[in-house]
């Protein structure tokens, strides 16, 4: 079993204690390996896939993979890395997100072979006496050792008592499933170590902790997050996924290959050396990385097809074969003070779904990021004349990857 986990070791950010994984493997039995995910948002990104892949490797090595969907803790919200209190989800929101999470986790983890639990099974059953016992495991001083809590405390930002309870509730999950090992991102280290404390307090052997790196998003700076709009979603269309990955900074190619593909540690070492000495061209390797990831989620041949579509747009500057067709409201056509009609482009771009707001549409126009039938367009007002039918069938483009065709107005 141990030999099958070499990729997990090579991809780990930290194992706590250092000999913890080896000590657990020496028990000579299938280990109970836990991963908890809180359904705070309804969809998963490549960032989430890193730890799910680590759990799958334990499953492939013959261990029990326990995926805990935090439908109870998700209502509280994990305070990790937060500078303010997270709004609490309703039970309905948590449940809806949980269903979406499970469906998408199945793209990475064999959920049919894994053990899937919801932590409301045990956390919803705790009474006041149980919570008092759980709260006695730690102190406020220990909680304030956590960087984000300490920063908020020192800047007089509020911290709710519920947020202090969160790491304890997550730790109680480890008690409930008798975890031998818990996986998580590096931003989860405090919570994972708290799980060791809670297990000891409840008379269990403390779990070993294995953290995986957080991958930077497409901006190459901040961790991948939908909040930062630097993410690649697991369910995004192949063309969109490929195009996004091609925008990745060259310095992250090898990291994405190690953590988001099955190419393996040996291949990764070759790539790192080749990129360093110049024997591997970054663009060629980025294309291989993007094809590999696309095929992981969209099937064999999808990577090459997405690459061909990418080249059609970016090398040949042609329109993609498949362009969303959109009916836009008549409100995109307006009248000026002289009674002349014009097409108000920011509103049109918003109606086409190419921008999130009219102000963003205006910025894109000013930045030269808008094209109509392949030609640059910078005007925010285009004379419409008596008949706007001439714009039917036109293809509008924002940036490199967003296209839409007008099929009707009004």
Tokens 């045990």 found at = 122
Task: Convert the pLDDT of each residue in 243-274 to its tens digit.
Answer: 999 999 999 999 999 999 999 889 999 999 99
Most confident of 83-97, 240-254, 310-324: 240-254
pLDDT digit string, tens, across residues 192-213: 999 999 999 999 999 999 999 9
Residues making up the chain, counted from first to last: 410
* Residue 105 pLDDT: 92
The rounded distance, in Å, linking the Cα atoms of 321 and 354 is 17
Structural domains present in the chain = 2-212 (3.40.50.620), 236-314 (1.10.240), 325-409 (3.10.290.10)
Contact of 381 with 342, CB cutoff 8 Å: yes
pLDDT at 95: 78
Averaged over 153-172, what is the pLDDT?
89
- What is the pLDDT of the chain when averaged over all its residues? 88
Per cent of the chain over pLDDT 70 is: 93
Rg (CA), the chain: 25
Where residue 134 falls among pLDDT bands split at 50, 70, 90?
very high
CA gap 79, 152 in Å, rounded: 11
Residue 391: is its pLDDT beyond 90? no
The arithmetic mean of pLDDT across residues 354-366, rounded, is: 90
pLDDT the model gives residue 101:
85
Quickly count: other Cβ atoms within 10 Å of residue 178's Cβ: 14
pLDDT at 384 over 90: no
* Highest-confidence segment of 259-273, 309-323, 372-386: 259-273
pLDDT at 84: 46
Whole-number Å distance between alpha carbons of 80 and 73: 13
pLDDT, greater one: 77 or 103: 103
How do residues 332-343 score in pLDDT, each as one tens digit?
Answer: 888 888 878 888
The rounded percent of the chain whose pLDDT value lies above 90 is 54
Residues 32-57 have pLDDT tens digits of 999 998 877 667 899 999 999 999 99
Asked if 207 and 184 count as a contact pair (C-beta separation under 8 A), the reply is no
Residue in the structure block whose two tokens are 């209502």: 75
pLDDT higher than 70, residue 3: no
Angle between helix 282-298 and 238-246 (nearest 10): 150
Asked if residue 83 has pLDDT above 80, the reply is no
**Cα–Cα dist 102/125, whole Å:** 23
185 forms beta bridges with 212
pLDDT at 82 exceeding the cut of 50? no
Can you tell me the mean pLDDT for 342-364?
A: 91
- Cα 108 from Cα 334, distance rounded (Å): 49
Cα(273)–Cα(294) distance, rounded to whole angstroms?
24
Cis ω before 17 (30° cut-off from 0): yes
For the beta carbon of residue 18, count every other beta carbon within 10 angstroms. 10
pLDDT at 410 over 80: no
Binned at pLDDT 50, 70 and 90, residue 317 comes out as: low
Residue 406: alpha-carbon gap to chain centroid: 32
Asked if pLDDT for residue 149 goes beyond 80, the answer is: yes
Residue 252 structure tokens: 């992250």
Residues 6+ apart with CB under 8 A from 92: none
Residues 267-311: pLDDT tens digits?
999 999 999 999 999 999 999 999 999 999 999 999 999 999 888
CA distances from 341 to 12, 283, 330, 370, 396 (A): 61, 47, 11, 21, 20
- pLDDT surpasses 90 at 74: no
Helices (H), 106-160: 120-123, 128-135, 140-143, 147-154
Q: What is the pLDDT of residue 1?
A: 45
Q: What is the pLDDT of residue 79?
A: 60
């Amino acid at each position: 079993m141990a030999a099958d986990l070499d990729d997990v070791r090579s991809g780990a950010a930290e194992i706590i204690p250092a000999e913890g994984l080896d000590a657990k493997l020496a028990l000579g039995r299938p280990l109970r390996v836990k991963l908890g995910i809180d359904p705070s948002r309804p969809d998963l990104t490549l960032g989430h896939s890193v730890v799910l892949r680590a759990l799958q490797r334990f499953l492939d090595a013959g261990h029990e993979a326990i995926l805990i969907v935090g439908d109870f803790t998700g209502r509280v919200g994990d305070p990790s890395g937060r500078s303010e209190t997270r709004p609490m989800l309703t039970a309905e929101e948590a449940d809806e997100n949980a269903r979406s999470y499970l469906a998408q986790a199945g793209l990475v983890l064999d959920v049919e072979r894994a053990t899937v639990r919801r932590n409301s099974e045990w956390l919803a059953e705790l009474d006041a006496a149980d919570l008092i016992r759980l709260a006695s495991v730690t102190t406020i001083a220990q909680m304030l050792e956590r960087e984000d809590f300490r920063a908020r405390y020192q800047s007089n930002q509020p911290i709710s008592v519920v947020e202090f309870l969160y790491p304890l509730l997550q730790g109680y999950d480890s008690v409930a499933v008798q975890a031998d090992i818990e996986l998580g991102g590096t931003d989860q280290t405090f919570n994972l170590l708290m799980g060791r404390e809670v297990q000891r307090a409840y008379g269990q052997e403390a779990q070993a902790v294995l953290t995986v790196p957080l991958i930077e998003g497409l901006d190459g700076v901040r961790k991948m997050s939908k909040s930062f709009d630097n993410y690649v979603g697991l369910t995004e269309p192949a063309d969109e996924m490929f195009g996004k990955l091609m925008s990745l900074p060259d310095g992250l190619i090898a990291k994405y290959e190690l953590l988001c593909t099955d190419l393996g540690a040996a291949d990764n070492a070759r790539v790192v050396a080749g990129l360093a000495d110049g024997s591997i061209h970054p663009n060629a390797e980025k294309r291989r990385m993007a094809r590999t990831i696309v095929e992981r989620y969209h099937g064999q041949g999808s990577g090459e097809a997405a690459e061909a579509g990418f080249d059609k747009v970016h090398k040949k500057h042609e329109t993609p074969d498949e362009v969303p067709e959109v009916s836009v409201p008549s409100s995109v056509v307006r009248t000026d003070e002289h009674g002349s009609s014009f097409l108000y482009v920011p509103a049109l771009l918003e109606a086409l779904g190419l921008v999130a707001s009219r102000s963003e549409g205006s910025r894109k126009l000013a930045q030269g990021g808008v094209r109509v039938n392949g030609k640059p367009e910078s005007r925010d007002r285009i004379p419409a004349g008596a008949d706007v039918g001439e714009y039917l069938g036109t293809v509008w483009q924002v940036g490199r990857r967003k296209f839409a065709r007008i099929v009707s107005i009004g």
